């Protein structure tokens, strides 16, 4: 059973969450898992002006995904930072390139799940994941979220991301906050949960 984690990260927050998702998937016996980034659409000088070059270098060893690879996965866990309450343009561009898979029903019946990151606490985490789900439903995916059996999403003693829709982290206005232990635990839980469900379907 192959599980693909497909993500975009500009400053490394989604990258860290993706690594935690990866760890969670690996807890399920029989799950093969790979992390892949979607192609960058911004020119390097723009990334430099946005202060993203350092983070980009730390992620440079993660291979770039092609849309054809989606077809050979049994489950796909997508990670995207929010952009105005929606998925980022890089992810949008990548999924818009999946039309050939769409017309062939190549993704129908696969499991998908989404995790995200935002600058501010109420900056659009839920809308990003829920609007992402629309695209996934058009492609025929079975959507899996982050159930309340992940108790960490009920915490009131600290600021935390995470909702029934999926794991999330709050990066801060300047990207100064990295994912907390609770948010990483949510990402691990989501990875394991998706892999367990995909495993049952696979069998």
Ligand X SMILES: Cc1cc2nc3c(=O)[nH]c(=O)nc-3n(C[C@H](O)[C@H](O)[C@H](O)COP(=O)(O)O)c2cc1C
Binding site for ligand X (CB under 6 A): 9-14, 81-85, 117-120, 123-124, 171, 175
Nearer to ligand X, 25 or 171 (CB): 171
Q: How far is the CB of 18 from ligand X (least distance, A)?
A: 9
Which CB, 140 or 175, lies closer to ligand X? 175
3-state DSSP assignment of residue 65: coil
**Residue 136 to residue 194: CA distance in whole angstroms:** 15
The two structure tokens encoding residue 158? 């600290």
Q: What's the min distance (Å) between Cβ of 81 and ligand X?
A: 3
Least distance from C-beta 104 to ligand X, angstroms? 31
Q: Which is nearer to ligand X, 171 or 185 (CB)?
A: 171
Extract the tokens encoding 26.
């690996």
Give the H/E segment covering residue 128: helix 125-139
Closest CB to ligand X among residues 97, 123: 123
Q: How far is the CB of 56 from ligand X (least distance, A)?
A: 10
What is the rounded CA–CA span in Å between residue 51 and residue 60? 16
Q: How far is the CB of 87 from ligand X (least distance, A)?
A: 10
User: Minimal CB distance to ligand X: which residue?
Assistant: 123
Sign of CA dihedral 13, 19, 20, 22: positive
Which CB sits closer to ligand X, 118 or 199?
A: 118
2-35: b (≥16 Cβ within 10 Å) or e: ebbbbbbbbbbbbbbbbbbbbebbbebeebebbb
């Amino acid at each position: 059973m192959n599980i693909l984690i497909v993500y975009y990260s500009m400053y490394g927050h989604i990258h860290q969450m993706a690594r935690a998702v990866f760890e969670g998937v690996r807890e399920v016996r029989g799950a093969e898992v790979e992390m892949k980034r979607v192609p960058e659409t911004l020119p390097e000088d723009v990334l430099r002006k946005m202060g993203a070059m350092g983070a980009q270098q730390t992620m440079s060893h993660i291979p770039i995904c092609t849309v054809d690879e989606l077809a050979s996965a049994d489950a796909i866990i997508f990670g995207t930072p929010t952009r105005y309450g929606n998925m980022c343009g890089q992810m949008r561009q990548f999924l818009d390139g999946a039309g050939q898979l769409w017309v062939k029903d190549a993704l129908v019946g696969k499991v998908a799940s989404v995790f995200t990151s935002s600058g501010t606490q109420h900056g659009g985490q839920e809308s990003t994941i829920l609007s992402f789900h629309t695209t996934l439903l058009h492609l025929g995916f079975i959507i899996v979220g982050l159930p309340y059996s992940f108790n960490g999403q009920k915490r009131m003693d600290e600021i935390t991301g995470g909702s029934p829709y999926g794991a999330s982290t709050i990066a801060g206005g300047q990207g100064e906050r990295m994912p907390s232990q609770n948010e990483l635990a949510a990402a691990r839980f989501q990875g394991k949960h998706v892999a367990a469900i995909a495993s049952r379907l696979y069998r």
